Amino acid sequence: MIVDPAGVLLVLCGIVGLFFFLERRTGWKLFQYAPPLLWIYTLPVVLTNTGVLPAESDLYGGLKEYALPIFITLMLLEIDLLAVVRVIGRGILVMLMGTIGVVIGGPIAYLLFHGFLGPHGWKGFGALAGSWIGGTGNMAAVAGGIETPPEEMGLAVLADNFVYLIWLPLLLASRSWLRGFSRFTRADPDRVERMEAAVRGLATKSKEVEMRHVVYLVFLGIGAAALAGTIAGRLPEVEPILTASTWKVLLVTTIGILLSFTPAKRIPGSQPIAMAIIYVFVASMGAQAQLGGLARAPWFIAGAYVWIAIHGAFCLLGARLFRVDVHTAAIASAANIGGAASAPIVAAYHRETLIPVAVLMALVGYALGNYLGFLTAQLCYVAGRL
Protein backbone atom coordinates (compact mmCIF):
# COMPACT_ATOMS: atom_id res chain seq x y z
CA MET A 1 0.00 0.00 0.00
CA ILE A 2 2.88 2.39 0.78
CA VAL A 3 5.72 2.37 -1.75
CA ASP A 4 7.04 5.95 -1.84
CA PRO A 5 10.34 6.14 0.16
CA ALA A 6 9.15 9.24 2.00
CA GLY A 7 5.96 7.43 3.06
CA VAL A 8 7.92 4.38 4.19
CA LEU A 9 10.28 6.57 6.23
CA LEU A 10 7.28 8.31 7.78
CA VAL A 11 5.82 4.99 8.90
CA LEU A 12 9.13 3.73 10.32
CA CYS A 13 9.75 6.95 12.26
CA GLY A 14 6.16 6.84 13.51
CA ILE A 15 6.65 3.28 14.81
CA VAL A 16 9.84 4.23 16.64
CA GLY A 17 8.23 7.30 18.19
CA LEU A 18 5.05 5.43 19.12
CA PHE A 19 6.68 2.75 21.25
CA PHE A 20 9.00 5.10 23.09
CA PHE A 21 6.02 7.38 23.73
CA LEU A 22 4.02 4.46 25.09
CA GLU A 23 6.89 3.29 27.28
CA ARG A 24 7.35 6.71 28.85
CA ARG A 25 3.68 7.77 29.06
CA THR A 26 2.00 4.55 30.18
CA GLY A 27 4.59 2.87 32.40
CA TRP A 28 3.28 -0.52 31.27
CA LYS A 29 5.18 -3.44 32.78
CA LEU A 30 4.98 -5.06 29.36
CA PHE A 31 7.99 -3.00 28.32
CA GLN A 32 10.08 -4.51 31.11
CA TYR A 33 9.77 -7.90 29.41
CA ALA A 34 9.42 -6.81 25.78
CA PRO A 35 11.33 -3.51 25.39
CA PRO A 36 10.58 -1.06 22.57
CA LEU A 37 13.36 -2.50 20.38
CA LEU A 38 11.44 -5.79 20.03
CA TRP A 39 8.27 -4.01 18.93
CA ILE A 40 10.17 -1.60 16.67
CA TYR A 41 11.54 -4.60 14.77
CA THR A 42 8.42 -6.79 14.90
CA LEU A 43 5.69 -4.37 13.79
CA PRO A 44 7.39 -3.57 10.43
CA VAL A 45 7.69 -7.35 9.88
CA VAL A 46 3.93 -7.62 10.23
CA LEU A 47 3.28 -4.57 8.04
CA THR A 48 5.49 -5.92 5.26
CA ASN A 49 4.05 -9.42 5.35
CA THR A 50 0.51 -8.03 5.20
CA GLY A 51 1.30 -5.79 2.22
CA VAL A 52 1.28 -2.42 3.98
CA LEU A 53 5.01 -1.77 3.53
CA PRO A 54 7.24 -2.92 0.65
CA ALA A 55 9.86 -5.64 1.20
CA GLU A 56 12.17 -3.70 -1.14
CA SER A 57 12.67 0.06 -1.23
CA ASP A 58 15.39 2.53 -2.13
CA LEU A 59 15.01 3.85 1.40
CA TYR A 60 16.42 0.66 2.96
CA GLY A 61 19.62 0.86 0.92
CA GLY A 62 19.93 4.57 1.64
CA LEU A 63 19.70 4.03 5.40
CA LYS A 64 22.44 1.41 5.25
CA GLU A 65 24.65 3.54 3.02
CA TYR A 66 24.34 6.86 4.84
CA ALA A 67 22.49 6.64 8.17
CA LEU A 68 24.47 3.70 9.57
CA PRO A 69 27.96 5.26 9.28
CA ILE A 70 26.70 8.61 10.60
CA PHE A 71 25.22 6.81 13.59
CA ILE A 72 28.46 4.94 14.34
CA THR A 73 30.49 8.17 14.28
CA LEU A 74 28.14 10.03 16.60
CA MET A 75 27.80 7.09 19.00
CA LEU A 76 31.55 6.82 19.49
CA LEU A 77 32.07 10.54 20.17
CA GLU A 78 30.87 9.87 23.74
CA ILE A 79 33.79 7.59 24.61
CA ASP A 80 36.44 8.73 27.09
CA LEU A 81 38.92 5.85 27.26
CA LEU A 82 41.28 7.68 29.62
CA ALA A 83 38.45 8.27 32.09
CA VAL A 84 37.50 4.60 31.91
CA VAL A 85 40.99 3.46 32.86
CA ARG A 86 41.27 6.06 35.61
CA VAL A 87 37.88 5.35 37.20
CA ILE A 88 37.22 1.66 36.67
CA GLY A 89 40.73 0.25 36.96
CA ARG A 90 40.69 -3.55 37.19
CA GLY A 91 36.96 -3.59 36.59
CA ILE A 92 37.55 -2.96 32.90
CA LEU A 93 39.61 -6.18 32.80
CA VAL A 94 36.60 -8.09 34.11
CA MET A 95 34.47 -6.59 31.37
CA LEU A 96 37.09 -7.61 28.81
CA MET A 97 37.02 -11.15 30.19
CA GLY A 98 33.25 -11.14 29.67
CA THR A 99 33.84 -9.88 26.15
CA ILE A 100 36.25 -12.74 25.50
CA GLY A 101 33.50 -15.06 26.75
CA VAL A 102 31.18 -13.65 24.09
CA VAL A 103 33.78 -14.02 21.33
CA ILE A 104 34.62 -17.61 22.32
CA GLY A 105 31.11 -18.64 23.35
CA GLY A 106 29.55 -17.64 20.03
CA PRO A 107 31.37 -20.17 17.82
CA ILE A 108 31.03 -22.90 20.48
CA ALA A 109 27.25 -22.42 20.62
CA TYR A 110 27.07 -22.15 16.83
CA LEU A 111 29.04 -25.37 16.44
CA LEU A 112 26.40 -27.12 18.57
CA PHE A 113 23.33 -25.71 16.81
CA HIS A 114 24.34 -24.63 13.30
CA GLY A 115 22.74 -27.71 11.74
CA PHE A 116 19.33 -26.30 12.71
CA LEU A 117 19.97 -22.67 11.69
CA GLY A 118 20.43 -22.63 7.93
CA PRO A 119 23.34 -21.41 5.79
CA HIS A 120 23.27 -17.81 7.05
CA GLY A 121 22.87 -18.54 10.75
CA TRP A 122 26.42 -17.38 11.41
CA LYS A 123 25.42 -13.90 10.27
CA GLY A 124 22.67 -13.82 12.88
CA PHE A 125 25.18 -14.90 15.53
CA GLY A 126 27.54 -12.15 14.34
CA ALA A 127 24.80 -9.54 14.76
CA LEU A 128 23.98 -10.85 18.25
CA ALA A 129 27.68 -10.74 19.15
CA GLY A 130 27.71 -7.05 18.23
CA SER A 131 24.84 -6.48 20.64
CA TRP A 132 26.38 -8.52 23.44
CA ILE A 133 29.78 -6.86 23.20
CA GLY A 134 28.43 -3.34 22.74
CA GLY A 135 24.74 -2.66 22.22
CA THR A 136 21.88 -2.26 19.75
CA GLY A 137 23.94 0.04 17.56
CA ASN A 138 26.73 -2.49 17.27
CA MET A 139 24.20 -5.18 16.38
CA ALA A 140 22.94 -3.04 13.53
CA ALA A 141 26.45 -2.05 12.43
CA VAL A 142 27.72 -5.63 12.32
CA ALA A 143 24.54 -6.78 10.58
CA GLY A 144 24.99 -4.05 7.99
CA GLY A 145 28.65 -4.88 7.48
CA ILE A 146 28.22 -8.63 6.88
CA GLU A 147 24.88 -8.12 5.14
CA THR A 148 22.89 -10.18 7.63
CA PRO A 149 19.55 -11.22 6.10
CA PRO A 150 16.61 -9.48 7.80
CA GLU A 151 15.24 -12.83 9.03
CA GLU A 152 18.54 -13.60 10.80
CA MET A 153 18.47 -10.12 12.29
CA GLY A 154 15.02 -10.92 13.65
CA LEU A 155 16.34 -14.09 15.28
CA ALA A 156 19.14 -12.08 16.87
CA VAL A 157 16.65 -9.53 18.26
CA LEU A 158 14.42 -12.32 19.64
CA ALA A 159 17.33 -14.18 21.23
CA ASP A 160 18.70 -10.96 22.71
CA ASN A 161 15.39 -10.28 24.44
CA PHE A 162 14.75 -13.85 25.59
CA VAL A 163 18.17 -14.01 27.23
CA TYR A 164 17.62 -10.54 28.70
CA LEU A 165 14.54 -11.87 30.54
CA ILE A 166 16.74 -14.32 32.46
CA TRP A 167 20.10 -12.61 32.62
CA LEU A 168 19.04 -9.17 33.89
CA PRO A 169 17.16 -10.50 36.96
CA LEU A 170 20.17 -12.73 37.69
CA LEU A 171 22.52 -9.73 37.63
CA LEU A 172 20.16 -7.79 39.90
CA ALA A 173 19.83 -10.70 42.32
CA SER A 174 23.62 -10.99 42.58
CA ARG A 175 23.61 -8.03 44.95
CA SER A 176 22.64 -10.41 47.75
CA TRP A 177 25.79 -12.47 47.11
CA LEU A 178 28.11 -9.66 48.22
CA ARG A 179 29.86 -11.38 51.13
CA GLY A 180 30.17 -14.82 49.58
CA PHE A 181 31.29 -13.34 46.27
CA SER A 182 33.95 -11.21 47.99
CA ARG A 183 35.32 -14.27 49.75
CA PHE A 184 35.42 -16.13 46.43
CA THR A 185 37.23 -13.32 44.59
CA ARG A 186 39.24 -11.99 47.58
CA ALA A 187 38.06 -8.50 46.61
CA ASP A 188 39.64 -5.38 48.10
CA PRO A 189 36.97 -4.01 50.50
CA ASP A 190 37.92 -0.38 49.79
CA ARG A 191 37.87 -0.65 46.01
CA VAL A 192 34.28 0.52 45.49
CA GLU A 193 34.87 3.62 47.61
CA ARG A 194 37.88 4.52 45.48
CA MET A 195 35.79 4.18 42.32
CA GLU A 196 33.11 6.42 43.78
CA ALA A 197 35.72 9.06 44.62
CA ALA A 198 37.10 8.89 41.07
CA VAL A 199 33.58 9.27 39.63
CA ARG A 200 33.10 12.51 41.54
CA GLY A 201 36.12 13.94 39.70
CA LEU A 202 34.70 13.28 36.22
CA ALA A 203 34.01 16.26 33.99
CA THR A 204 30.43 16.42 32.74
CA LYS A 205 29.39 17.38 29.23
CA SER A 206 26.77 20.05 28.67
CA LYS A 207 23.32 18.80 27.66
CA GLU A 208 22.28 22.13 26.16
CA VAL A 209 21.95 21.38 22.45
CA GLU A 210 21.94 24.35 20.06
CA MET A 211 21.44 24.48 16.30
CA ARG A 212 25.17 24.86 15.66
CA HIS A 213 25.85 21.65 17.59
CA VAL A 214 23.55 19.70 15.28
CA VAL A 215 25.33 21.18 12.25
CA TYR A 216 28.73 20.21 13.68
CA LEU A 217 27.55 16.65 14.33
CA VAL A 218 26.02 16.23 10.89
CA PHE A 219 29.25 17.52 9.33
CA LEU A 220 31.37 15.06 11.32
CA GLY A 221 29.03 12.14 10.58
CA ILE A 222 28.83 12.76 6.84
CA GLY A 223 32.56 13.50 6.65
CA ALA A 224 33.45 10.24 8.39
CA ALA A 225 31.05 8.30 6.15
CA ALA A 226 32.49 9.84 2.98
CA LEU A 227 36.11 9.27 4.03
CA ALA A 228 35.47 5.67 5.09
CA GLY A 229 33.56 4.94 1.88
CA THR A 230 36.38 6.30 -0.28
CA ILE A 231 39.05 4.25 1.48
CA ALA A 232 36.92 1.08 1.74
CA GLY A 233 36.47 0.97 -2.03
CA ARG A 234 40.24 0.65 -2.46
CA LEU A 235 40.88 -2.11 0.08
CA PRO A 236 41.07 -5.81 -0.79
CA GLU A 237 38.04 -7.99 -0.06
CA VAL A 238 38.40 -11.33 1.72
CA GLU A 239 35.14 -13.25 1.67
CA PRO A 240 32.95 -13.81 3.56
CA ILE A 241 33.70 -11.15 6.20
CA LEU A 242 36.02 -8.47 4.81
CA THR A 243 33.77 -7.04 2.13
CA ALA A 244 33.55 -3.36 1.17
CA SER A 245 30.62 -2.99 3.62
CA THR A 246 32.66 -4.45 6.48
CA TRP A 247 35.67 -2.28 5.70
CA LYS A 248 33.44 0.79 5.71
CA VAL A 249 32.00 -0.02 9.14
CA LEU A 250 35.46 -0.76 10.56
CA LEU A 251 36.88 2.47 9.14
CA VAL A 252 33.99 4.59 10.42
CA THR A 253 34.41 2.95 13.84
CA THR A 254 38.09 3.85 13.88
CA ILE A 255 37.40 7.43 12.77
CA GLY A 256 34.75 7.81 15.49
CA ILE A 257 37.13 6.57 18.18
CA LEU A 258 39.88 8.93 16.98
CA LEU A 259 37.42 11.85 17.05
CA SER A 260 36.62 11.02 20.68
CA PHE A 261 40.18 12.11 21.57
CA THR A 262 39.53 15.57 20.08
CA PRO A 263 37.40 18.50 21.32
CA ALA A 264 34.58 17.05 19.18
CA LYS A 265 33.68 14.76 22.09
CA ARG A 266 32.39 17.78 24.00
CA ILE A 267 29.72 18.60 21.41
CA PRO A 268 26.35 17.89 23.07
CA GLY A 269 23.56 15.94 21.42
CA SER A 270 25.53 13.17 19.73
CA GLN A 271 24.02 10.30 21.71
CA PRO A 272 20.29 11.06 21.27
CA ILE A 273 20.74 11.78 17.55
CA ALA A 274 22.69 8.55 17.11
CA MET A 275 20.11 6.42 18.90
CA ALA A 276 17.22 7.96 16.93
CA ILE A 277 18.99 6.99 13.70
CA ILE A 278 19.70 3.43 14.79
CA TYR A 279 16.16 2.63 15.89
CA VAL A 280 14.86 3.74 12.50
CA PHE A 281 17.50 1.51 10.89
CA VAL A 282 16.38 -1.49 13.00
CA ALA A 283 12.77 -0.82 11.95
CA SER A 284 13.89 -0.87 8.31
CA MET A 285 15.53 -4.28 8.89
CA GLY A 286 12.22 -5.57 10.20
CA ALA A 287 10.41 -4.22 7.15
CA GLN A 288 12.61 -6.41 4.93
CA ALA A 289 12.05 -9.66 6.87
CA GLN A 290 9.83 -12.59 5.97
CA LEU A 291 7.95 -14.45 8.71
CA GLY A 292 9.03 -17.86 7.46
CA GLY A 293 12.60 -17.30 8.59
CA LEU A 294 11.52 -17.00 12.22
CA ALA A 295 10.65 -20.72 12.41
CA ARG A 296 14.25 -21.40 13.50
CA ALA A 297 13.85 -19.22 16.60
CA PRO A 298 13.81 -22.07 19.22
CA TRP A 299 17.19 -23.37 18.05
CA PHE A 300 18.70 -19.91 17.81
CA ILE A 301 17.51 -19.05 21.32
CA ALA A 302 18.82 -22.36 22.71
CA GLY A 303 22.22 -21.53 21.25
CA ALA A 304 22.04 -18.08 22.83
CA TYR A 305 21.50 -19.59 26.29
CA VAL A 306 24.56 -21.81 25.90
CA TRP A 307 26.44 -18.75 24.74
CA ILE A 308 25.42 -16.60 27.73
CA ALA A 309 26.46 -19.37 30.14
CA ILE A 310 29.97 -19.28 28.66
CA HIS A 311 30.04 -15.49 29.00
CA GLY A 312 28.99 -15.79 32.65
CA ALA A 313 31.76 -18.30 33.35
CA PHE A 314 34.33 -15.90 31.92
CA CYS A 315 32.97 -13.04 34.05
CA LEU A 316 33.36 -15.17 37.18
CA LEU A 317 36.88 -16.11 36.15
CA GLY A 318 37.72 -12.46 35.56
CA ALA A 319 36.31 -11.42 38.93
CA ARG A 320 38.43 -14.11 40.61
CA LEU A 321 41.62 -13.25 38.72
CA PHE A 322 41.37 -9.48 39.25
CA ARG A 323 39.79 -9.57 42.73
CA VAL A 324 36.78 -7.36 42.15
CA ASP A 325 33.47 -7.12 44.02
CA VAL A 326 30.08 -8.41 42.88
CA HIS A 327 28.90 -4.88 42.02
CA THR A 328 31.69 -4.39 39.48
CA ALA A 329 31.30 -7.90 38.03
CA ALA A 330 27.54 -7.49 37.54
CA ILE A 331 27.94 -4.07 35.94
CA ALA A 332 30.69 -5.42 33.66
CA SER A 333 28.42 -8.20 32.40
CA ALA A 334 25.49 -5.82 31.96
CA ALA A 335 27.70 -3.43 30.00
CA ASN A 336 28.38 -6.29 27.58
CA ILE A 337 25.01 -8.00 27.31
CA GLY A 338 22.67 -5.07 27.87
CA GLY A 339 24.81 -2.11 26.84
CA ALA A 340 24.04 1.46 27.85
CA ALA A 341 20.36 0.62 28.37
CA SER A 342 20.84 -2.04 31.05
CA ALA A 343 24.19 -1.33 32.72
CA PRO A 344 22.91 1.79 34.58
CA ILE A 345 19.86 -0.20 35.76
CA VAL A 346 22.10 -2.86 37.29
CA ALA A 347 24.34 -0.18 38.79
CA ALA A 348 21.39 1.67 40.33
CA TYR A 349 20.17 -1.54 41.97
CA HIS A 350 23.60 -2.53 43.27
CA ARG A 351 24.97 0.88 44.25
CA GLU A 352 23.54 4.06 42.78
CA THR A 353 26.81 5.99 42.93
CA LEU A 354 28.26 3.55 40.35
CA ILE A 355 25.87 4.57 37.55
CA PRO A 356 28.59 6.70 35.85
CA VAL A 357 30.89 3.66 35.99
CA ALA A 358 28.24 1.60 34.21
CA VAL A 359 27.91 4.22 31.49
CA LEU A 360 31.68 4.33 30.96
CA MET A 361 31.85 0.53 30.67
CA ALA A 362 29.01 0.50 28.16
CA LEU A 363 30.81 3.08 26.03
CA VAL A 364 33.90 0.86 25.92
CA GLY A 365 31.61 -1.91 24.68
CA TYR A 366 30.44 0.42 21.90
CA ALA A 367 34.06 0.94 20.86
CA LEU A 368 34.85 -2.79 20.78
CA GLY A 369 31.54 -4.11 19.51
CA ASN A 370 32.06 -3.64 15.79
CA TYR A 371 35.61 -5.01 15.67
CA LEU A 372 34.92 -8.05 17.84
CA GLY A 373 31.45 -8.61 16.41
CA PHE A 374 33.02 -9.16 12.99
CA LEU A 375 35.63 -11.44 14.56
CA THR A 376 32.93 -13.52 16.25
CA ALA A 377 31.02 -13.76 12.97
CA GLN A 378 34.17 -15.04 11.26
CA LEU A 379 34.74 -17.64 14.00
CA CYS A 380 31.10 -18.78 13.74
CA TYR A 381 31.48 -19.11 9.97
CA VAL A 382 34.57 -21.29 10.49
CA ALA A 383 32.81 -23.35 13.20
CA GLY A 384 29.91 -24.01 10.84
CA ARG A 385 32.26 -25.50 8.27
CA LEU A 386 33.88 -27.98 10.69
Q: For residue range 25-37, what is the model confidence (pLDDT) as tens digits?
A: 888 888 877 888 8
Q: Bridge-partner residues for 242, per DSSP?
A: 238
Residue 199, judged by CB atoms within 10 A of its CB (0-12, 13-18, 19+), counts as middle
In a domain, residue 204? The reply is no
CATH number of the domain enclosing 251 = 1.20.1530
Name the domain count of the chain.
Answer: 1
In a domain, residue 328? The reply is yes
Do the Cβ atoms of 374 and 146 come closer than 8 Å? yes
Residues of the domain holding 324: 5-199+209-384
The predicted structure's pLDDT at residue 221: 93
The predicted structure's pLDDT at residue 82: 76
First and final C-alpha spacing in the chain = 45
In a domain, residue 155? The reply is yes
Name the 3-class secondary structure at 242.
Answer: strand
Q: How far is 290 from 304, CA to CA, in rounded Å? A: 22
The predicted structure's pLDDT at residue 205: 65
Task: Please state, rounded to an integer, the average pLDDT across all residues of the chain.
Answer: 89
204 vs 138 pLDDT, higher one: 138
In a domain, residue 366? The reply is yes
In a domain, residue 30? The reply is yes
- Give the global pTM: 0.88
